[in-house]
Structure 1
Amino acid sequence: MTSVHEAVGGLATDVCLPDGAGPFPAVLIRTPYDRTRHLAEARGWARRGFAAVVQDVRGRFASPGQWHPYESEAADGVVTARWIRRQPWSDGRYVAVGASYAAQCALVLVLHVDEAEVRPDAVIAAVPALGAADTAREPSGVERLLARAGWWAAHGDRRDSEEGALAQALAADPGLLTHLPLTGLPERLGRSLPSWAGLWQRRERGRLVSRAAHADVPLLAVGGHHDHFTEDTVALWRTWGGPSARLLLGPWGHGLVAAPGPDAGPAHRVALGELYARWARRALTRGLAPGHHGALALGGSDLWLPAGTEGEPRTQRLRLLRGSCFTADPDRPVRSDDLTVPTTGPPDRCLLATPPLPRPVDAVGAVRVRLRATADTPSADWAVRLVAVTPDGFAERLAVGVVRREHPEDGEFTVDLGRLTRRLPAGTRLRLEIAGHHFPAHARNPHTGADPVTADRLLSSRRDVDPTSVSLTLHVLPSRPHSIDPAKEILR
């Protein structure tokens, strides 16, 4: 195994070559998170017969220039791809690989590059951060505050990274994210972050997904049920127009197998490095069957299901506990990081619950809540959180959805809570919380009609929910499923 350092297009690039004379197929990883942290990954690819090329994106770590997130990755990727195919160790084929921001770097080479001769022959996109607006907003437009503040504090407008920057700032000032306006966050962090305010001006989501229908190479999309970008991962796979598309979705967070959720089992400890290499080899030799296939882990069990599995819609019976009338006060918002529910004082949310489940339920598919409710302010967010409560009282968040309504006097609407792929044991109660905020995961709606990012004034909002109108729909498998081998589904 040989490692060399190059300056490709002026950008810091490490190449790890397998033993032997070659030529070899290559993998390309372009990252803003320090190419040296990918050394073990590069060596793993080289051991499996691939030339691994790892590059710091422009303006990050050892690469010169200005760091402008999501703006120059296609152009720089083209230069690097062209260089790879001209190297004596290259057999002319390469796979674009990446996770999170690096997945976007890989995808733009397929979806934003016209020259067929530089596009990759296959792409692996894990927990893909598809663009600035895609990462910063829910599909409804509501701002994802905590995750973006953490990312920008750690990586924004700087050459290196400080992973714990936001946590340190919150330790010093627990109310850091409550100060208004949110555009003033950089000053409170003591950092120059000129791109922070511009992030919230980007509202167009789904640009890469819309282009995915025109893709012409194989895709492996990998995600986690507990990741911020689960819906984008699934949408990318569903839309992909290449000759084959594979999806692997496990009970993991943004760190995949290194970040298992509470519902992960021993069967969900997948050796991703080995699976990626085997898939890449089959993709390059055109050994993959056409079509969309893959595997979904059924959390709370040790089972894997075929990708695309969907249960039958079932409406769950709900009983009002309290709060059909409540006040959404942005000075005292319902918190995203606290599942305790106040039982005294004026209600800050509407609470409903199901009876204990009489038998285990395999919920696989979309979760939706339909309700009739009103607010007395010009703008209102409706945050709906689904929580599983075990017979011994342990609470676990299952799903969250947030919508913004600019005409809150119009009463009936639907809130999508994403997807569940989860076994719920008998005796579990499902608790549904309907609130006006989900902070700090999401920015607080000031209720004045002003932009939550630039607002400097907050109003309380009176809410009225018709409890008889609230319906919770889960998609439930009609019978116990049989487990599949996820590797076979990915490699077939």
Structure 2
Amino acid sequence: MTPLTVAVEGLATDVQLPDGDGAFPAVLIRTPYDRRRHRAELRGWARRGFAALVQDVRGRHASPGEWHPYENEAADGATAARWIRRQTWSNGRIVAVGASYAAHCALALALDAPEDARPDAVIAAVPVLGPAETAREPSGVERLSARAGWWAAHGDRRDSDEDALEKALAADPGLLAHLPLIDLPVRLGRSLPSWPGLWGHRERGRLRARARHAGMPLLAVGGHHDHFTEDTVTLWRSWGGPSARLLMGPWGHGLVAAPGPDARPAHRVSLGELYARWARLALAGDLACGHRGAVGLGGSPLWVPADVEGEPRTENVRLLHGSSFTADPERPLASQQLTVPTDGTPDRCLLVTPPLPRPLDVVGAAEVRLRATADTPSADWAVHLVALSPEGAAERLAVGVVRREDPPGPAAEFTVGLGRLARRLPAGTRLRLEIAGHHFPAHARNPHTGDDPVTATRLLASRREVDPWHVALRLPVLRTRPMPTDPVQEILR
């Protein structure tokens, strides 16, 4: 089956109808990533009785106009939804579906469009909530490499070049280290007029606030290894519609197509089949009210209910070295580095737990509390949590970064959130805690001058002191063996 391509108010849209006559519920996907990539997905929805539509957003691929991320999605989505409801093949019911930026399009339609254009249900996978949420951590620290990669691939252009940043880094390995970061487009060799404006977005939580007033069911899907894990869970918890379901597995941004190192065969889920069955129940009003879901416990075959949370427990840590270290932005701690240097001036504080005497199930938000000092007026604190297997293999479990502007001299006490974990750690595992001043290039370097890291042109080294007696690693630990659940049954009830 080849979809029919039509122009909906000028925007290129593929339409795939089920076989036979009748009025059908519709699935609407709006994407900047080329609608032609979704043709197999359209056929899958059509086989299950849905009219399936995918649209290139304004200014992308075959759709005319100018591409301004996050600006036109509610209005253009509303136009598409009204068009669908006027068609003879439509029964008037619409499910807005999307992953990543396409999930933003679905949520903007559900939460920002006029009432008559809103969908009847929403499936939002690895959702992008807004520019501020993608560009910065909650503390304000800039997410550099992910945003540079996305803007290089998709920003201010009609088509996409997925490997644009990788090719640029191959030609200039120090590309992201050049200052100021605001001039990155010059070094990429092409115009990116929207790049500076990205960093002006600081207001977080707008869609989350509107989600409290949502009037339709939600299925939120995410991965423990995704950039937007916290946003996915927050969206689910905030959702005010009649029902909200969460499916969270040990996956990356590509979900089941990108399993993490802790994924097991039991974490393979047929998302297409699950989406269609959930959509049928959601449109029929046959889902139980309330917030439910399932979370895959990495490192084990188990799924547990989404409302399961461990109790905070402080793990004993001892200092290995580096209670005094230098955070030098000229030689920042590398984001992907798992090896630890054993000579030279320390560039991090390194602590470790004893081997775990028994397996540990960790489910929920982890954090590190510490007392520390920086001799510069602005300082980032990056905390890496690494699991060391009994065989000596290292695997990063979590990273947290905060920005502090404390007076130089007196020690400050603060907390660094490490995000959500859902993991079984085997007996004999040791946990290594690295406290550093940078996490580059995943995050921009703090110049330590008090200047904006995006426009700074001068870098200073920062001397750090960590009080090892006041470092507390707090993990959400399940006190008893978790009760397993079936993820499909949990989502569909």
**Which TM-score band applies after superposition, normalised by the shorter structure?**
over 0.9
CA distance in 1, matches of 2:389, 2:363: 19
RMSD: 0.8
CA distance in 2, matches of 1:408, 1:178: 27
Q: Which whole-Å deviations, capped at 9, do the CAs of 1:381-420 have from their partners, x for residues lacking one?
A: 0001100011111111101110001115451001111011
Listed as ranges, the matches of 1:204-283 within 5 Å are: 204-283=203-282
CA distance in 2, matches of 1:75, 1:239: 23
In the alignment, which residue of structure 1 is the partner of 2:422? 421
Q: Which whole-Å deviations, capped at 9, do the CAs of 1:403-458 have from their partners, x for residues lacking one?
A: 00111545100111101100000010000000000000000000000000000000
Listed as ranges, the matches of 1:55-204 within 5 Å are: 55-113=55-113, 115-204=114-203
- Residue 406 of structure 1 aligns to which amino acid in structure 2? E
> Post-superposition shift, 1:173?
1.0
Q: Which whole-Å deviations, capped at 9, do the CAs of 1:91-137 have from their partners, x for residues lacking one?
A: 00000000000000000111112x32210000000000111111010
> Post-superposition shift, 1:232?
0.2
SS at match of 1:330: coil
Stretch deviating more after TM superposition (152-161 or 405-414): 405-414
In the alignment, which residue of structure 2 is the partner of 1:478? 479
SS at match of 2:194: helix
CA distance in 1, matches of 2:8, 2:225: 36
- TM-score scaled by length of structure 1: 0.99
CA distance in 1, matches of 2:204, 2:117: 26
CA distance in 1, matches of 2:407, 2:3: 60
CA distance in 1, matches of 2:263, 2:18: 35
Q: Which whole-Å deviations, capped at 9, do the CAs of 1:44-86 have from their partners, x for residues lacking one?
A: 0000000001000000000000000000000100100000000
CA distance in 2, matches of 1:68, 1:379: 33
CA distance in 1, matches of 2:48, 2:256: 21
> Post-superposition shift, 1:3?
2.3
CA distance in 2, matches of 1:37, 1:366: 35
- Residue 94 of structure 1 aligns to which amino acid in structure 2? I
SS at match of 2:119: coil
Contact 1:107 1:123 in 2 (8 A): yes
Contact 1:2 1:18 in 2 (8 A): no
Stretch deviating more after TM superposition (407-416 or 167-176): 407-416
CA distance in 1, matches of 2:41, 2:400: 35
In the alignment, which residue of structure 2 is the partner of 1:31? 31
CA distance in 2, matches of 1:58, 1:76: 8
> Post-superposition shift, 1:191?
1.0
- Residue 381 of structure 1 aligns to which amino acid in structure 2? D
- Residue 376 of structure 1 aligns to which amino acid in structure 2? D
SS at match of 2:43: helix
SS at match of 1:18: coil
SS at match of 1:109: helix
In the alignment, which residue of structure 1 is the partner of 2:464? 463
CA distance in 2, matches of 1:174, 1:479: 48
Contact 1:2 1:17 in 2 (8 A): no
CA distance in 1, matches of 2:115, 2:59: 27
Q: Which stretches in structure 1 are left out of the alignment for 5+ residues?
A: none
SS at match of 1:117: helix
CA distance in 1, matches of 2:240, 2:55: 28
SS at match of 2:373: strand
Q: Which whole-Å deviations, capped at 9, do the CAs of 1:450-474 have from their partners, x for residues lacking one?
A: 0000000000000000000000000
- Residue 414 of structure 1 aligns to which amino acid in structure 2? T
CA distance in 2, matches of 1:52, 1:216: 22
Q: How many residues are matched?
A: 491
SS at match of 2:377: coil
- Residue 57 of structure 2 aligns to which amino acid in structure 1? V
SS at match of 1:236: helix
Q: What's the % identity of the aligned pairs?
A: 77
Q: Which whole-Å deviations, capped at 9, do the CAs of 1:251-279 have from their partners, x for residues lacking one?
A: 00000000000000000010000000000
In the alignment, which residue of structure 2 is the partner of 1:312? 311
CA distance in 1, matches of 2:472, 2:373: 16
CA distance in 2, matches of 1:22, 1:490: 29
Contact 2:3 2:39 in 1 (8 A): no
Q: Which whole-Å deviations, capped at 9, do the CAs of 1:165-223 have from their partners, x for residues lacking one?
A: 00111111111100000011101000100000110011111111111100010000000
CA distance in 1, matches of 2:22, 2:182: 53
Q: Which whole-Å deviations, capped at 9, do the CAs of 1:280-325 have from their partners, x for residues lacking one?
A: 0000000100000000000000000000110111100000000000
CA distance in 2, matches of 1:473, 1:456: 37
CA distance in 2, matches of 1:60, 1:408: 48
CA distance in 1, matches of 2:332, 2:237: 36
In the alignment, which residue of structure 2 is the partner of 1:303? 302
> Post-superposition shift, 1:5?
1.0
- TM-score scaled by length of structure 2: 0.99
In the alignment, which residue of structure 1 is the partner of 2:393? 394
CA distance in 1, matches of 2:355, 2:283: 50
**Residues 35 and 183 of structure 1, relative CA distance in 2, 3 Å threshold:** same
CA distance in 2, matches of 1:411, 1:282: 52
In the alignment, which residue of structure 2 is the partner of 1:290? 289
CA distance in 2, matches of 1:229, 1:263: 18
Q: Which whole-Å deviations, capped at 9, do the CAs of 1:15-48 have from their partners, x for residues lacking one?
A: 0000010210000000000000000001100000
CA distance in 2, matches of 1:174, 1:252: 29
> Post-superposition shift, 1:482?
2.7
CA distance in 1, matches of 2:424, 2:304: 12
CA distance in 2, matches of 1:408, 1:225: 36
SS at match of 2:26: strand
Contact 1:2 1:19 in 2 (8 A): no
CA distance in 1, matches of 2:248, 2:203: 26
CA distance in 2, matches of 1:268, 1:274: 15
In the alignment, which residue of structure 2 is the partner of 1:363? 362
SS at match of 2:272: helix
CA distance in 1, matches of 2:167, 2:179: 20
In the alignment, which residue of structure 2 is the partner of 1:491? 492
